[in-house]
């Protein structure tokens, strides 16, 4: 929890907020933000929100993980500060140390939005790659239930399940006993000369345009 608190706190530091505001006004795409031990960047998306992203490294290379993002009003001032589900508890733990004016700007995303972020995260896409590369994988697994691949992963604070789907695809969706969506929310991963993601839902497209889907970062 301590590292999550440290990461979340960066969203509310005056230096970060000043940089994000200036970035929105100048339309600079990437701005570095560093603490003593952790590297971040501010990223301006196609939808004009500015994301705070943690820089990390895994077996596939360097990547950037969204923590939250700022939206702006017509005057270029921060309108809201959105926090991804994974960091909600950390925010509640540090809330007492944050200026009340900033607290008034904080919003959480919907379960549907957080689910899409979880099923399209770097962590989830990495597990998908492992499943595609597994000896257990076959294009025709969907024809035999006893050959289905099924794995769960905690992503964006939610339990996500990846399972065999039609025509060699893998399907990722919510599988968390603590949360329930009114409608099925899932994406399809395919592996044809590289792994690709497929979903036609508007919420997915909105989050993609806001650059909040870590599989693409």
pLDDT in tens, 18-75: 999 999 999 999 999 988 889 999 999 999 999 999 999 999 999 999 999 999 999 9
- Residues 6 or more apart whose CB falls under 8 angstroms from that of 88 comprise 108, 157
Which tokens belong to 90?
């950390």
The yes-or-no verdict on residue 184 having pLDDT over 90 is no
The 10 Å CB-count burial string (b at 16+, else e) for 170-183 is: bbbbbebeeeeeee
Q: How confident is the model at residue 183 (pLDDT cuts 50, 70, 90)?
A: confident
What percent of the chain is predicted at pLDDT more than 90?
Answer: 90
Q: Look at residue 78 in the predicted model and tell me its pLDDT.
A: 97
CA angle 126/170/66 to nearest 5° reads 40
The yes-or-no verdict on residue 166 having pLDDT over 80 is yes
Q: Look at residue 25 in the predicted model and tell me its pLDDT.
A: 96
Q: Look at residue 37 in the predicted model and tell me its pLDDT.
A: 85
Residue 131 CA to residue 163 CA, distance in Å, equals 9
The yes-or-no verdict on residue 182 having pLDDT over 90 is no
Residues 172 and 189 sit within 8 Å (Cβ to Cβ): yes
Mean of per-residue pLDDT scores for the chain: 95
**pTM of this structure:** 0.95
Q: Span 85-102, mean pLDDT?
A: 97
Residue 210 CA to residue 102 CA, distance in Å, equals 21
The yes-or-no verdict on residue 1 having pLDDT over 90 is no
Distances (CA, A) of 170 to 36, 79, 137, 155, 189: 40, 38, 10, 17, 5
């Amino acid at each position: 929890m301590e590292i999550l608190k440290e990461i979340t706190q960066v969203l509310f530091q005056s230096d970060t907020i000043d940089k994000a505001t200036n970035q929105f006004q100048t339309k600079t795409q990437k701005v570095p933000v560093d603490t003593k031990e952790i590297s971040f960047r501010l990223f301006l998306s196609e939808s004009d929100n500015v994301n705070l992203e943690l820089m990390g490294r895994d077996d596939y290379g360097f990547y950037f993980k969204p923590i939250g993002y700022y939206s702006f009003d017509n005057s270029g001032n921060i309108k809201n500060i959105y926090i991804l589900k994974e960091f909600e508890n950390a925010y509640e733990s540090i809330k007492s140390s944050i200026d009340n004016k900033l607290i008034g700007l904080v919003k959480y995303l919907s379960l549907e939005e957080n689910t899409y972020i979880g099923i399209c995260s770097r962590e989830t896409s990495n597990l998908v790659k492992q499943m595609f590369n597994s000896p257990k994988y076959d294009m025709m697994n969907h024809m035999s239930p006893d050959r289905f691949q099924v794995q769960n992963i905690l992503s964006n604070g939610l339990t996500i399940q990846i399972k065999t789907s039609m025509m060699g695809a893998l399907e990722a969706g919510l599988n968390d006993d603590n949360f329930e969506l009114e409608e099925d929310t899932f994406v399809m991963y395919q592996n044809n000369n590289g792994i690709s993601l497929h979903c036609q839902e508007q919420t997915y497209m909105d989050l993609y345009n806001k650059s909040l889907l870590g599989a693409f970062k």
